[in-house]
Amino acid sequence: MSNWLLIIYCGLITFLTRFSMIALLKKEMFNDRIREILSFVPSAIFPAIIFPAIFLDNSGDFQLENNPKIMAAIIAMLIGIISQNIIATIISGLASYWFLIFMV
């Protein structure tokens, strides 16, 4: 598949999930139980991006020693929990990562 076709399909599926919620869905289609479970979607999907990017190297092998990403992610997470602030979380993570790779 060409890159453009891939981009268009991804755009289409993104649009359709948004459109279906405006045009097709009725309030009755979702009971409280389904809503409750859907509210876990970010917690269920985002870590599947986060964890491999931190614990695996570019070829997919475990990288647990000498890995500044682990410490930087832990610092970012702690700052995130305390501050509840998205920007502070990203900046503290990047800053500690750079500190670990350039200064230590």
Partner 1 sequence: MNTKFRVFLKGVFDVSPLMIPVVPFGLIFGVLSIDIGFSPIETMGMSLIIFGGASQIILLQLFSGGASSLVIISSVGAVNSRHLLYGAVVSEHLSELKLIWKIVISYFLIDQAFARSNEYFKKNNDKDKYFHLFGGGITCWVIWQTTTFLGIVLGAFIPEKLGLSFAVPLTFLALLVNDFRKLINVIVIIISGLVATFGFNYVPYKAYVIVAGVTALLTAAILTKLNKKNE
Binding positions for partner 1, rule: CB under 8 A: 1, 3-11, 13-15, 17-27, 29-30, 35-56, 60, 69, 72-73, 76-77, 80-81, 83-87, 89-90, 93-94, 97-98, 101
Instruction: Tell me how far, at minimum, the Cβ of 61 lies from partner 1, in Å.
Output: 8
Q: In this complex, which beta carbon is closest to partner 1, that of residue 4 or of residue 104?
A: 4
Instruction: Tell me how far, at minimum, the Cβ of 104 lies from partner 1, in Å.
Output: 14
Tell me the residue type at 23: A
Residue partners of 79: CB distance under 8 A and separation at least 6: 88, 89, 92, 93
Q: What are the contacts of 90-93 at 24+ separation with CB within 8 A? A: none
> How many other C-beta atoms lie within 10 A of the C-beta of residue 103?
6
Instruction: Tell me how far, at minimum, the Cβ of 58 lies from partner 1, in Å.
Output: 9
Tell me the residue type at 9: Y
